Amino acid sequence: MRSVLPVTGREQLHATRQSGLLDDEPTADLRDGKVQSGPDLSITLQGGLVLPNPFVIGSGPPGTNYAVMKKAFEEGWGAVIAKTVSVDSSKVVNVTPRYAKLKAPSNSREVIGWENIELISDRPLETMLDDFKRLKQEFPNRILIASIMEEYDKPAWEELISRCEDVGVDAFEVNFSCPHGMPERKMGMAMGQDCDILEEVCGWINNKATVPVWAKMTPNITDISFPARSALQSGCEGVSAINTITSVMGVNLDTLRPEPCVEGYTTPGGYSSKAVKPIALAKVMSIARIIKEEYAGGRDLSGIGGVETGRDAAEFILLGANTVQVCTGVMLHGYPMVKQLCGGLQAFMKQHDFSSIEDFRGSSLPFFTTHHELVRMQREAINAKKRARQGLASDADWSGDGFVKETESMVAN
């Protein structure tokens, strides 16, 4: 059921493509990311950023260098978030193999879970900045977002922000959520789990940045609303949720070694793909409620976790997200899947007669309540049915048109 994938450069993005699994999805005609017919998918974010569609390349291998980010823009993705960068890439050393996958029992081709122990970008910051500059020169009207991470070091954060802004990035996503490797250096998830540190670092970032800032949340915490609130209170224009979930993909019962196995050993990694979607939806719902209740002017919310179809994306948008990120899905299906994501989302919108994303964003959010309230509502519904079965209160209540039904309402068997 489980297997470990070797990594050979750019082939990592294509070797595992699940050919055929999206064949039944409708396809949209995109030009510079904009649909040419049907419901409008464009969105406007905080800070005036305009995306032609809500589908964003999530930070990771699909945004690792110029070639793959260029491919993403050419295929029509609404925005690209580059792989996370830091000031000193020499501290970042990856291993191979670094992925493991979980397949559906009923379909050996269908991947439902994906684990990675990959770190942030191991390319020199100068090289990544050159890629950012080149991309903005070639695609000046498309949205490029730098994902950034640093240690608890204010000057390092400020240097990273200045250098990224100098080459023209449109926004930042702050990685407070990588669950493996980086927390050993008190980075990533280690910061995202400490609301006091997160709030302080977000303050440094927002005092320096002149473009919108999103904070990327870790799901590996009891209540995601606490760090989300800290980030928003510190001035972030939005939050992204969720990053990967701490996991061990499994143990090989022949070798008795955990996977992915590196020289006989492994480390817990980050779990993604479609199996995490229900967890991601719950976290997004929690954050969306904060934004709705506490920020009258709104904030951006980027939903992440298990999105492979337009209908998956619709669920995140119904819970309040205005963008939806895809990372593992691109590694499995390739960059052209954005056309099917847009087509599938448009098909959903046509089904309900929605003409824009804002027509339905957050529409399902009011239908969440407490378990206590569910019990009360069900009790009231049962009592109402009992009262209806008791029939008419007096002879004056009989009617001509409803005579048969009124008679039946008072029959005991």
Partners of residue 250 on adjacent β-strands: 259
Structure tokens at 325: 């990120």
Q: What is the DSSP letter of 275?
A: G
Total H helices, total E strands in the chain: 12, 19
Residues 47/299, Cβ–Cβ less than 8 Å: no
CA distance 331 to 345: 20
φ/ψ (deg, to 5) at 116: -135, 145
Catalytic amino acids?
Answer: 178
| Neighbouring C-beta atoms of residue 139, cutoff 10 Å | 18
| Neighbouring C-beta atoms of residue 101, cutoff 10 Å | 23
* Distance set, CA 53 to CA 49, 81, 97, 283 (Å): 12, 14, 34, 23
CA distance 206 to 198: 12
